[in-house]
Structure 1
Amino acid sequence: MDNSATDCHTIGRFFGVNGKKLQRQYKKHLSSFNTWAPREHAHQWILYPENIGTHLSIDEVALSQGELYTIVTNKKFKGKQGCLVAIIAGTKADQVIEHISKIDYKKRSGVQEITLDMANSMKLISKKCFPKAIQVTDRFHVQKLALEAMQEIRIKHRWEAMDLENQLIMQAKKENNTFIQELLPNGDSLKQLIARSRYVLYKSREKWTEHQNERAQLLFELYPDIKKAYGLSQQLRGIYNNNNDKHVAMTKLAHWYRNVEESGFKNFNILLNTVTLNYQSILNYFDNRSTNASAESFNAKIKAFRSQFRGVRKIDFFIFRLSNNPQLLHLIQNN
């Protein structure tokens, strides 16, 4: 009856039966949902102590209508079958701690490392629930902040370019003249150059195409501050990519600190303060180069699973399908 690539509505159309009725029958009679042990509390919390391991990830995901759930996964299984340790409604530290603490302390004490973002709630949860685990700040959250700081500078110039173009158009109309758009050597207008550079700035130089390289050079000539911000974000990426030794990384980070301070960029200095507050857990990355990639992969598959079944009407039934039906779990366990 079940198939990972279809839902009850699709099956109903195929066999000429009412999809909603088939779904009700599946939920009430064909599945074991009514006798599922965690059913009463599944919409709030569900634990799989048998899946706990030495290296975990903790993250948040929106299951339905933006409602966040805290998810703990075992990194060993790389987002596939057996990776799920806990799903808990909300991100409030005290509530999450209360439920995860239901897992035997001895098992939780066996966790050696846990990767997480820079949210204080996640750090507190990790400290209380996994007291012997080394906390590792996910590198991609740090790099994302650097990229956002750079993009803010680009966006500021984009608004300025849009305002300038609007003023020139209005001035031309006022003087009964036809507005003639001034184009740059690559065929972009100034506004287009800044807008089209968005994805170029996310990539490293060696990955630019010929056209992207031309666009970037024009952008950097016109806006030296964007060039400097791009250099800072790429320097941080290089520290993560090219260093396996924690002491070398410390030295490189010190140089990056100095460059950020000298840049005068307010948003990068805010990032600098954030890095300082999370300095030790950021450095811990260089011990094993652990990231939250497996947790992000699992979260992405949950979203794909949710989309496949046209959203989430009943959280408890969704989690039941997510955690108990191997055929419906094909999207998560076998991808």
Structure 2
Amino acid sequence: MHYGLDEKQLEAQYKNHLSNFKSWNQQEHAHDWVLFPENIGSQISIDETSLSQGELYTIVTNKSGKGRKGSLIAMVKGTDVETVCAVLMCLSRRIRWKVREVTLDMASNMEKIIHRCFPPARQVTDRFHVQKLAYEVVQEMRIKHRWNAIDNESNALALAKAKGESFRQVIFENGDTCKQLLARSRYLLFKKESLWGPSQRTRAAILFREYPDIKKAYYLSQQLGLIYHQCYQKEVALTRLARWYDQVDNSGFLSFGTVARSIQTHYANIINYFENRATNASAESFNAKIKAFRTALRGVRDIKFFIFRICNIFA
């Protein structure tokens, strides 16, 4: 209780009398979907996020809103193509045809939604989702080596104990043991070499000396990032990607082959990035704002009222 006011009573008064929630024209279906045709623009983003207890919602936002009022176009419960399309098709054909570019992740259901609801729009696969696939391969290799290191250490310790000998760990020149080296290398493998600090450079040198396959995978992932960073024309990007595919084939890494095939599957949308260099960062930022708002409220008890408050802020 603050200033003589009961918190729950104040919340109830705001919800039932001060907020206009009871007279909200979308209250009846707010739990399942909300739609704001007036917020549509030529460049939009589509993504999914969890509002409460892992329940996913598909969110469509206008990039020109810049995460402020006028950003939210639609919020639909679930990610099913038919469900989301049924809501978006409530927009008139004239409004839907205004959309010229849509950024999205690599989910096939999102591609189908955009193709059906916004046919003229150019689809752009977010560059960070593509790069994330390559980074995950590097981390997968690091984790595999770390589990092997833990297993080897346990076996060596058990053997030394059985022989009645003292166990001596191998310690590298920077003071790391083998499993510590692999655990502490996680973040440096996400960063460009130019951004490493002195201790990270030392650790990376040891890591790459002891595990050449991680070194090879790391530079493969960085080369993919350089294509996005250095190329400004679709034709040049296509050529650089073809060369990267060849390097992946020659590497012999099965996981990188999976990444290359995923890129080939979505290559048309991926290459569209090099026209306007559009990303899905606005959608990710919008999702982060929703999660921060949910945290500030210490969770969601009334999903309809929570969506109403989101709409008041962003729609």
TM range (shorter): over 0.9
Structure 1 stretch displaced more, 25-34 or 124-133: 25-34
- In 1, distance between residues paired with 2:221 and 2:240? 13
Query: Could you tell me which residue of structure 2 aligns to residue 193 of structure 1?
Result: 181
Aligned pairs (5 A) from 1:109-128: 109-128=97-116
**1:206 corresponds to which letter in structure 2?**
S
Confirm or deny that 1:182 pairs with 2:170. yes
> 1:223-242 alignment to 2 at 5 Å?
223-242=211-230
Q: Which residue of 2 aligns with 1:93?
A: 81
Alpha-carbon distance in structure 1 between the residues aligned to 2:150 and 2:198: 26
What's the CA shift for 1:150? 1.1
Instruction: Tell me the distance in 2 between the aligned counterparts of 1:272 and 1:160.
Output: 27
The one-letter amino acid paired with 1:120 is S
- Give the alignment of 1:282-293 within 5 angstroms: 282-293=270-281
**DSSP-derived class of the 2:44 partner:** strand
What aligned pairs does 1:15-94 form with structure 2 within 5 A after superposition? 15-94=3-82
Per-residue CA distance 1:288-310 (angstroms, 9 max, x = gap): 00000000000000000010011
DSSP-derived class of the 1:231 partner? helix
**Which residue identity is paired with 1:86?**
A
CA positional deviation for 1:30: 1.9
Structure-2 separation of matches of 1:75 and 1:52: 9
Deviation at 1:16, TM superposition (A): 3.5
Q: Distance in 1 between matches of 2:17 and 2:36?
A: 25
Q: Distance in 1 between matches of 2:229 and 2:33?
A: 37
Rounded Cα–Cα distance in structure 2 between residues aligned with 1:24 and 1:178: 67
Aligned to 2:259: 271
**Aligned residue for 1:5?**
none
Aligned to 2:240: 252
Structure 1 length as normaliser, TM-score? Answer: 0.92
SS of equivalent to 2:56: strand
Q: SS where residue 195 of structure 1 aligns?
A: helix
Unmatched segments (≥5 aa) in structure 1? 1-12
Q: Shift in Å at residue 169 of structure 1?
A: 1.2
* Residue matched to 2:204: 216
Aligned to 1:6: none
Tell me how far apart the structure 2 counterparts of residues 22 and 176 of structure 1 sit (CA, whole Å).
Answer: 70
Deviation for aligned residue 1:78: 2.1
1:176: Cα distance to partner?
2.2
How many residues matched?
A: 315
Shift of 1:25: 1.8
Identity %: 54
How far 1:186 moved relative to its partner? Answer: 0.6
Q: Which residue of 2 aligns with 1:4?
A: none
SS in 2 for 1:122: helix
Deviation (angstroms), 1:79: 1.7
SS of aligned partner of 2:5: coil
For residue 103 of structure 1, what is the aligned residue in structure 2?
Answer: 91
Matches of 2:8 and 2:254, distance apart in 1: 55
